[in-house]
Amino acid sequence: AQTVTQSQPEMSVQEAETVTLSCTYDTSESDYYLFWYKQPPSRQMILVIRQEAYKQQNATENRFSVNFQKAAKSFSLKISDSQLGDAAMYFCAYRASNAGGTSYGKLTFGQGTILTVHP
Amino acid sequence: DAGITQSPRHKVTETGTPVTLRCHQTENHRYMYWYRQDPGHGLRLIHYSYGVKDTDKGEVSDGYSVSRSKTEDFLLTLESATSSQTSVYFCAISDLDRGNYGYTFGSGTRLTVV
């Protein structure tokens, strides 16, 4: 079974600084998707960024970028120019490729990292 | 979120009582999921559905059952609630058939079993 591990229960950053959240995963599959979700106090789950495993290029969305190391099974999230609105719980998630239809799109989540942003 | 609603948003119930949570979608997506969120565990899959009357167990299915008699509704039932089932429950939908990688999550139900 796939597992996702976020080893940092809490992280903090100063406003305008850069912070990196770590995520590692374990899988025997070669094709899969990785996600970072943000959950603010409202409980809403917001997709931050997505990475397809077959793409070597790291995904980027504005101030958010990932460092995807497939061989090391590592998928870290870098937040640049941190803003107060970035404060939230962040979840890393894994999904097997839907090739063959057997994965049914099931997501496996990490434990979450609470990010605090100091003004 | 638009297209998916969970009800109720909060519920307090007594140990041993049955509880049903409802997930309703207006997106006509085939895939629906129930997760529970607990501190230190992230979100864990309880049950999922890949079509009307097609459901299967996730990693933490003990004590839970589901039903999907219509595309738009996915019900999660706790037959006899226990304190260990106190949690926040999320429903999610996905449109995998059209190559969509995204998921839409409901706003969650906070369930407290006393």
- Ranges of each domain in chain B: 4-113
Please, is B36 exposed, middle or buried when counting C-beta atoms within 10 Å of its C-beta (0-12, 13-18, 19+)? buried
Nearest to B87 by CA among B24, B16, B21: B21
In chain B, pLDDT over 90 holds for what percent of residues?
Answer: 89
**8 Å CB contact between B26 and B72:** yes
Helix (H, G, I), strand (E, B) or coil at A56: coil
Residue B2: what pLDDT? 65
Write down the residue that tokens 């129930």 correspond to. Answer: B34
Tell me what the mean pLDDT of segment A96-101 comes to: 66
Chain B: which residues have CB within 8 Å of chain A?
1, 31, 33, 35, 40-45, 48, 50, 56, 58-59, 88, 90, 92, 94, 96, 101-103, 105, 107-108
Omega before B8 within 30 of 0, i.e. cis = yes
Answer whether A45 sits within 8 Å of B96, measured CB to CB: no
Instruction: Give the residue-averaged pLDDT of A25-32.
Output: 90
Nearest of A118, A117, A114 to residue A10 by alpha carbon: A114
The rounded distance, in Å, linking the Cα atoms of B106 and B71 is 16
Chain A residues within 8 A of B43 when measuring between CB atoms: 91, 93, 107, 109
pLDDT grade for A45, boundaries at 50, 70 and 90? very high
The vertex-B108 CA angle with A48 and B1, nearest 5°, equals 55
* pLDDT at residue B96 is higher than 80: no
Pairing status of strand A10-14 against strand A113-118: parallel
Dmax over Cα atoms in chain B, in whole Å? 43
**SS3 assignment for chain B:** CCCEEEECCEEEECCCCCEEEEEEECCCCCEEEEEEEECCCEEEEEEEEEECCEEEECCCCCCEEEEEEECCEEEEEECCCCHHHCEEEEEEEECHHHCCCCEEECCCEEEEEC
Boundaries of every domain in chain A: 3-118
Q: What residue of A is the nearest CA neighbor of B30? A: A104
Report, as an integer, the average pLDDT of B55-68. 96
Query: A3-118 adopts what CATH topology?
Result: Immunoglobulin-like (2.60.40)
> What band does A101 get if pLDDT is binned at 50, 70 and 90?
low
pLDDT, position B58? 94
Per-residue model confidence (pLDDT) at position A2: 84
* Each residue's pLDDT tens digit, B69-82: 999 999 999 999 99
Check residue A30 and give its pLDDT. Answer: 85
CA distance, residue B28 to nearest chain A CA (Å) = 16
Task: Give pLDDT tens digits for A52-83.
Answer: 998 888 999 999 999 999 999 999 999 999 99
- Output the pLDDT for position A109: 97
pLDDT at residue B57 greater than cutoff 70: yes
- The mean pLDDT value for A30-40 works out to 94
Classify domain B4-113 at the CATH topology level.
Answer: Immunoglobulin-like (2.60.40)
